Amino acid sequence: MSIRALFIDMDGTLLTSSNEVSQRNVEAINRLINQGVKVFLATGRQYEITAPYHHLLGLKAPMICLNGASIYDGFTGRVVQMTPVVLDETHFHQVMNENSCNVIVHTADGLYCDKKYKEVDEWTREGKVPPRYIGDLRHADYRNVLKYHVKTGCHGSQMSHLFRDAADVIDWQDGFEIVAPGVSKWAAIQTLIQAFGINPEETAAIGDGPNDIQMLQHAGFSAAMANAGEEVKAAADVTTGHHEQDGLAEFIEKYLVHSYAI
């Protein structure tokens, strides 16, 4: 079956380590769009640091942000869908303080964090929107949390099990993320393809992280980046090149450009 929609992860997939999009990736995406394929960004990033790349690529399709916790209209930027996560904040902060963790809280109103980080500085530069709060999160007045990003310095599974009864958890090598139950990039993809009348078999997906596993498993055709971990590669149909070597463009050129005929 022909591919009608491609869902692209950003960090480690579309972007280089310096947060740039190569000319080859841009050209490959444009070739696909010109064939009539809808191209979507599906990222763990918040909207403010997704939108600049969406505009750079000239995309029109909705954006999937924060691992699927929010979907934004591709033209207006307005929220189409938002799924907050609800935790026992007292328990959460007790665990974080006892274990000396660093936390970034992504909310519908902006970013809250306990201290400044290199990536937060980069996000501020890219999105031109600074954090709403930096300091002790126990004293921050935030609502409508879409994702917690907990930085532990070790594999998230060592602590993330404490929150699995209340939320969905994604383990990373340096920590973990918490989203509402049932939230994932694939769940958001299902919402969008239903709206566009696209079958799951007509979708393609590409990514490199644990938050991409579900969409790689369930898309009609999928690719993991060469820089992805083994668990991620096992979830995909094929493995493409490294994100520093235009692996996204390689996947599009090799498998997708000629698979769709108008």
**Interval 221-238: pLDDT, tens:** 999 999 999 999 999 999
Q: What is the pLDDT of residue 261?
A: 40
Claim to verify: residue 99 and residue 173 sit in the same structural domain:
yes
- 254 and 239 in contact (C-beta within 8 Å)? no
Claim to verify: residue 75 and residue 187 sit in the same structural domain:
yes
Q: How many whole angstroms separate alpha carbon 11 and alpha carbon 239?
A: 17
Q: What is the pLDDT of residue 98?
A: 87
Domain count, the chain: 2
Side by side, the strands of the sheet bearing 5-8 are: 38-41, 5-8, 203-207, 221-224, 238-239
Q: What is the pLDDT of residue 258?
A: 72
Q: What is the pLDDT of residue 142?
A: 95
Q: What is the pLDDT of residues 125-148, one digit of tens each?
A: 999 999 999 999 999 999 999 999
Claim to verify: residue 11 and residue 46 sit in the same structural domain:
yes
Give the DSSP per-residue string, 85-131: ----HHHHHHHHHHTT-EEEEEETTEEEESS--HHHHHHHHHHS---
Claim to verify: residue 94 and residue 170 sit in the same structural domain:
yes
- The structure tokens 């992860």 sit at 9
Residue 262 lies in a domain: no
Q: What is the pLDDT of residue 211?
A: 98
Where residue 168 sits, what CATH number does that domain have?
3.30.1240.10
Q: What is the pLDDT of residue 124?
A: 92
Give the largest CA-CA distance in the chain: 58
Claim to verify: residue 205 and residue 123 sit in the same structural domain:
no
Claim to verify: residue 34 and residue 107 sit in the same structural domain:
no
Burial of 86 (0-12, 13-18, 19+ CB in 10 A): exposed
Q: Is the pTM of this model over 0.75?
A: yes
Positions in the chain short of pLDDT 50? 260-262
- The span from the first CA to the last CA of the chain, in angstroms, equals 13
Q: What is the pLDDT of residue 260?
A: 41
- The residue range of the domain holding 94 is 89-179
Burial of 236 (0-12, 13-18, 19+ CB in 10 A): buried
Claim to verify: residue 174 and residue 203 sit in the same structural domain:
no
Q: What is the pLDDT of residue 76?
A: 96
- The structure tokens 């991409």 sit at 212
Q: What is the pLDDT of residue 100?
A: 87
